Amino acid sequence: MKKTLLLCFIHGFKGGDDTFGGFPEHLRALVSNARPKIDVAAITYPKFETRGDLQECVGRFKEWLQNKVIDIEVANGTPSPTVDPSVRTILVGHSMGGIVAAETVLSLTSEKPVSESSESSSFMFPYVQGILAFDTPYLGISPGVVAHGAEQKYNTASAALGTLSEIGGVLGWGGAGYDQAENKPNKEAPMKAIEAGQAATAAIQKESDAAAVPAWQRWGKMAMFAGAAGAVAAGGAAAYIKRDQITEGWSWVSSHLEFVGCLMRGEELRKRLMSVVKLEEERDLGFADLYTNLGKGAVGKEGKLASGIIGADRTFCLLPKSKLKKFFLKQVNNAATDETVAHMNMFYPRNNPNYYNMSYQANDLVVKWTSNDWYESSTGEILPVDRIEHS
């Protein structure tokens, strides 16, 4: 019977179809070359609303995946797909997508067939061979992400506050910009006001110049972990200047807070990770989390406030200190200057010099997880990839 390995990519919080860049096809090609006896297909879960209850999101994804797998099983002419499936899946999740993947597997393995049999204990449809996560915070987000982000906001606020003082002076709010003897603003005030205003605008734009930086990085991060009051306090004068954007950012984050709320429940995070590891031991489920670690690009950028919190390694994910460490594989990015930038650019070679090494490591894991009887028993005509992707 012909076999198909389905690489299913799941984006994270507010991600989209472009989250993985060209990585899905790159990994598919690598695995296909290493596993010639089976067909290897790559599909990406369409952009979904990362809001509301996590379990509802998992339910929608699971139904979508089941339909995709059924289509391939029908095309393969599989006699009994639930007992002897021709399709096995690797769930590839980035960030929160890795948590969706874990919850999906836990849900699938908890289901029982209508007719109990000896196969009941190993029943799983669709059959998931492994969870390949990328920078998924299975134990939460590293405190260094918040500490470093807060320090950057503080430094920006200090510069903006100085600019505001100058503007206040030239507008006649006291100080050198006001002629006490004449009891009126200095004649040079208008020109100075224009110059100071331009300086303020430049300072703000530099902070948020991110046509490339999503709103959640700029404000959502602070609001999420420190609360709205913490964001305003850390932002100081700059936060006041951008008060409209902060309000918008806070509304945006709060509307999605239920979805990412699982990142704030430590015991729930720990239990989920332990449950996945148990499946790795009992059901031979492949599992790994390739996490980002800042390298040379962040040297000298630790800051005074954050240095006491972030420790020796600067990572987006909080890492385990027990035997679970073997499932977390370091991926050093020497170009990224902060944790969030590294997190968002894992799949773009221009911004991640380690991209190709990471790709080969991912390939090696998939090859390892599929070194079994299922692969060796694959025979027959191979279904073309384009027929799977567009079915």
pLDDT tens-digit readout, 41-78:
999 998 876 666 788 889 999 999 999 999 999 998 88
Based on the number of CB atoms within 10 Å of its own CB, is 252 exposed (0-12), middle (13-18) or buried (19 or more)? Answer: middle
Q: Which residues contact 361 (CB under 8 A, 6 or more apart)?
A: 290, 329, 331
Q: Which residue has the tokens 């499932």?
A: 327
What was the pLDDT predicted at 51? 64
What was the pLDDT predicted at 3? 94
Tell me the pLDDT band of 190, cut-offs 50, 70 and 90: very low
- 3-state class (DSSP) for residue 42: strand
What was the pLDDT predicted at 387? 45
Helices of type H across 121-265: 143-170, 189-208, 215, 221-241, 243-260
The answer to whether the beta carbons of residues 289 and 133 sit under 8 Å apart is yes
Comparing 14-28, 219-233, 311-325, the range with the smallest average pLDDT is 219-233
Distance (Å, whole) CA 130 – CA 236: 46
Greatest Cα pair distance in the chain: 97
Report whether pLDDT(257) > 70: no
Q: Left (φ > 0), alpha (ψ -120 to 50) or beta: where does 52 sit?
A: left
Distance (Å, whole) CA 95 – CA 11: 7
The answer to whether the beta carbons of residues 98 and 287 sit under 8 Å apart is no
Distance (Å, whole) CA 291 – CA 331: 6
What was the pLDDT predicted at 13? 79
| Strand pairing class (184-185; 178-179) | antiparallel
Distance (Å, whole) CA 319 – CA 213: 25
- 3-state class (DSSP) for residue 7: strand
Higher-scoring residue by pLDDT: 172, 23: 23
What was the pLDDT predicted at 258? 59
Higher-scoring residue by pLDDT: 163, 151: 151
Report whether pLDDT(105) > 50: yes
